[in-house]
Structure formats: C-alpha cells, structure tokens
A and B are shown apart, each in its own frame.
Chain A
Amino acid sequence: GAVVSQHPSWVICKSGTSVKIECRSLDFQATTMFWYRQFPKQSLMLMATSNEGSKATYAQGVEKDKFLINHASLTLSTLTVTSAHPEDSSFYICSATRDSLDAEQYFGPGTRLTVT
C-alpha cells in the first residue's frame, strides 16, 4: 500500500509555455502532499507543501506565481510550471502523507521536465 504516481514521467516543452504535472495517491487519501525539485547530482529541495482544499505553502525563494500548485482532492495534487524557461528543467518529485501526524512520506517516481 501507499503508492504515489506521477504523470507524465517525462515531458519536453518549449520555452514560454506551461506544463502541468499530476501527483496521485493511488490507494490512500493524502492529507498533505509535497513537491520537490532535484537537479542532477543534487539533493531534493522542497518547493511547497499543500493540503487539500487550501492554498499551498511555498518554500523560501520559490515563486508561487510561476509554480502553481492545486490540491483539489485528497488523492490529487498538480504542479503547473508557467512560462517555463530552460533553467526550470529539472526532476520534479511529489510525496504524500497518509495522516497529518504521520511523518512518513511516500514518494512518487518523479517527472523529468526539459524546457527547450
């Protein structure tokens, strides 16, 4: 149990366009979902925390108008990268927790975004 999926697994988009990444908890209801960004050979950096039905909380330095997060249901969160630029090319990973008191995060397989 506790499976998290992401779609798409990889995406290529042109500079200036927007791209949406979906994160789904397949067999549990996720009270909280997290979005991370990971550059090659680097660690995971938290971008934002989202709770169903409320606005996301963004990490310091992350532009909320550029990285739009919607947590519309207990099983789905989306990250939209608006007006993408080549420097946004990265590996985006989501995670989810089953309980607000549960420290364990279940990670998705990641989405590779390449902006040309």
Chain B
Amino acid sequence: QQQVKQSPQSLIVQKGGISIINCAYENTAFDYFPWYQQFPGKGPALLIAIRPDVSEKKEGRFTISFNKSAKQFSLHIMDSQPGDSATYFCAASYPQGGKLIFGQGTELSVKP
C-alpha cells in the first residue's frame, strides 16, 4: 500500500521560477516529513523537514507548506536555478525515529 503519494513525476521550470512539488500521506501517525534532494549516482541529502505542529517552514529558497487536515505537504523552491535540477523525494516517518516512507520522486529540470 502506497502511503505517500508524490506529484508531479517530472517538472520543468524556467530559471528564476517557482518549483512546486506536492505530497499526500495516509497515515495520521506520521510525525516527521522531510524532503530530500538526490543527484544522479549520489545518495539523497536532506533539504528541509517539518513536524505536523507547524504549518510552514522556510530555509533559504526552500519552503515546506503543511496542511494537517488535508494530509498534504508541499515543497516550494523559489528562484529556481539550473543547479537545482535533481530528483526530489518527500518522505514521512513514524514517531521515535521510525522508518522513512518515501514518495515516488519528482525529477526537476530547471532550464536556463
């Protein structure tokens, strides 16, 4: 059973634009929602993460918006740059350091 659904599968954005990736989850027991960035042939790297008691978190050009009632969260990349071109994964985990459940991934391409 797919517990974290991510969309879109791929995204093309012009340099300077806003990239938006969405995720929806099913299990209300999840309490940690990270976003990872992965370049080809590399391991994923944590970008930003949020807990359900916060509706928004911003770090530099990256913002997570969290809607607990809708069980959805999204990543916004402001002023997107070609160097942001990568695959992005949302994830969710259970309390107390439980396993991560990953979304399907979004391949982002930022055109110069």
Are B43 and A99 within 8 A (Cβ)? no
Number of interface residues of A (CB under 8 A): 28
Q: Beyond A32-B97, A97-B97, A101-B97, is A44–B44 a contact (Cβ under 8 Å)?
A: yes
Task: Give the distance in Å from the alpha carbon of A41 to the alpha carbon of B102 in the complex.
Answer: 14
Among candidates B41, B93, B96, residue contacting A112 with C-beta atoms closer than 8 Å: B41
Q: Beyond A32-B97, A34-B99, A101-B96, is A110–B42 a contact (Cβ under 8 Å)?
A: yes
Among candidates A43, A46, A95, A106, residue contacting B89 with C-beta atoms closer than 8 Å: A43
Task: Give the distance in Å from the alpha carbon of A7 to the alpha carbon of B100 in the complex.
Answer: 23
For B90, the closest partner residue in chain A by CB is A43
Which chain B positions have C-beta within 8 A of A102?
A: 97
Q: Beyond A42-B105, A43-B89, A43-B104, is A107–B96 a contact (Cβ under 8 Å)?
A: no
Which chain A positions have C-beta within 8 A of B98?
A: 103
A82-105 CB contacts (< 8 Å) to partner B: 91, 93, 95, 97, 99-105
Are A93 and B44 within 8 A (Cβ)? yes
Task: Give the distance in Å from the alpha carbon of A99 to the alpha carbon of B43 in the complex.
Answer: 21
Which chain A positions have C-beta within 8 A of B42?
A: 109-110
B72-96 CB contacts (< 8 Å) to partner A: 89, 93, 95-96
Which chain A positions have C-beta within 8 A of B96?
A: 100-101, 103
Residue in B89, B93, B98, B99 whose Cβ sees the most chain A Cβ within 10 Å: B99
Are B32 and A103 within 8 A (Cβ)? yes
Task: Give the distance in Å from the alpha carbon of A43 to the alpha carbon of B5 in the complex.
Answer: 11
Q: Shortest distance in angstroms between A50's beta carbon and chain B's nearest beta carbon? A: 12
Q: Is B49 at the interface (CB under 8 A from chain A)? A: yes
Q: Is A75 at the interface (CB under 8 A from chain B)? A: no
Q: Mark B4-44, 1 if CB is under 8 A from A, else 0.
A: 00000000000000000000000000011010100001111
14 contacts between A and B (CB under 8 A): A6-B43, A43-B104, A44-B89, A44-B100, A91-B41, A102-B97, A103-B96, A103-B97, A103-B98, A104-B49, A105-B100, A107-B43, A107-B46, A110-B43
The 3 closest A-B pairs by CB, nearest first: A103-B32, A107-B43, A110-B43
